[in-house]
Amino acid sequence: MNKIELGVNIDHIATLRQARGTAYPDLLDAVRLVEDAGAHAITIHLREDRRHIQDADVYAIRQMCTRRLNLELAATDEMVGIACDVLPNDACVVPEKREELTTEGGLDIIGQFERVRSVTQRLNAANIRVSLFIEPDIEQIRRVPDIGAPVIELHTGTYANATGESKQHELRRIQEATEFAHNLGIQVNAGHGLDYDNTQAIAAIPQIHELNIGHSMVARAVFVGIRQATVEMLELMQAVRAGA
């Protein structure tokens, strides 16, 4: 069976905690439940403004998580320094603007080639597997080997927000970008805006290795708990891979 993995982004459990400055909900409890449900990775984004995940969370989760830790980070010296100290298994380099609600769009690795390459090389040297969060754009993907990142995460936000024919068009872009990157020997992950309705079409792309999903799962967890929300998402993803 052609397997697909799930990284659960728990940033928004921290958003709920930060809204009141309380000690709860406890992120470490969330990590235990998500891992127990069968997730393959824990994903967290330490933002420059520390709006949800805090530095102490990153260290505490690193200590206790038993699956892969995927740290999302901006291409800044501060974040690379923290990553090289924490040593997550994976680091996903993302664009970051202070005023945005969430990560909007992929990294421009053509425009920021030197910075992204130098960040990637520093993380590679620390044995952290680097993933670049980019748009499903062939010209961007063409430059990935020169940057030296073994993994990309395709931004699925435009697909998630599209409706009607443009949704099919966005899905085709992701399929073509995945195939192109896979043929270059790059591991392809995907994420952003994926939910219980739109994930299966992405999970059905056979070369996609991992999905990183957060907001929709934390929202679902309000009603069914984060363990069940994780089980449900894994079942959806795996159903379209069964027998593939």
**Closest distance of CB 194 from ligand PXP, Å:** 6
Active site residue 192: yes
Q: Is 144 or 194 the residue whose CB approaches ligand PXP more closely?
A: 194
| Binding residue ranges | 9, 11-12, 20, 47, 52, 102, 193, 214-215
**Torsion angles phi and psi, residue 7, rounded to 5:** -105, 125
Are the CB atoms for 49 and 88 separated by under 8 Å? Answer: no
45, 96, 155, 170: which is the annotated catalytic residue?
Answer: 45
**Judged by CB under 6 A, does residue 133 bind ligand PXP?**
yes
Q: Which stretch binds ligand PXP (CB under 6 A): 17-25, 115-123, 211-219, 220-228?
A: 211-219
**Judged by CB under 6 A, does residue 45 bind ligand PXP?**
yes
Name residue 72's beta-bridge partners.
45, 92
d(CA 201, CA 213): 14
**Judged by CB under 6 A, does residue 62 bind ligand PXP?**
no
**Judged by CB under 6 A, does residue 149 bind ligand PXP?**
no
d(CA 225, CA 221): 4
| Binding residue ranges for 1-deoxy-D-xylulose 5-phosphate | 11-12, 47, 52, 102
**Judged by CB under 6 A, does residue 11 bind ligand PXP?**
yes
**Judged by CB under 6 A, does residue 147 bind ligand PXP?**
no
Chosen residue from 115, 117, 143, 215 binding ligand PXP by CB under 6 A = 215
5, 35, 72, 170: which is the annotated catalytic residue?
Answer: 72
**Judged by CB under 6 A, does residue 135 bind ligand PXP?**
no
SS3 of the chain: the string is CCCCEEEEECHHHHHHHHHHCCCCCCHHHHHHHHHHCCCCEEEEECCCCCCCCCHHHHHHHHHHCCCEEEEEECCCHHHHHHHHHHCCCEEEECCCCCCCCCCCCCCCCCCCHHHHHHHHHHHHHCCCEEEEEECCCHHHHHCHHHHCCCEEEEECHHHHHCCHHHHHHHHHHHHHHHHHHHHCCCEEEEECCCCCCCHHHHHCCCCEEEEEECHHHHHHHHHHCHHHHHHHHHHHHHHCCCCC
**Closest distance of CB 52 from ligand PXP, Å:** 9
**Closest distance of CB 221 from ligand PXP, Å:** 12
Q: Which stretch binds ligand PXP (CB under 6 A): 32-40, 114-122, 186-194, 235-243?
A: 186-194
**Closest distance of CB 238 from ligand PXP, Å:** 18
- The site for ligand PXP (CB under 6 A) is made up of 9, 11, 45, 72, 92, 94, 102-103, 133, 153, 191-194, 212-216
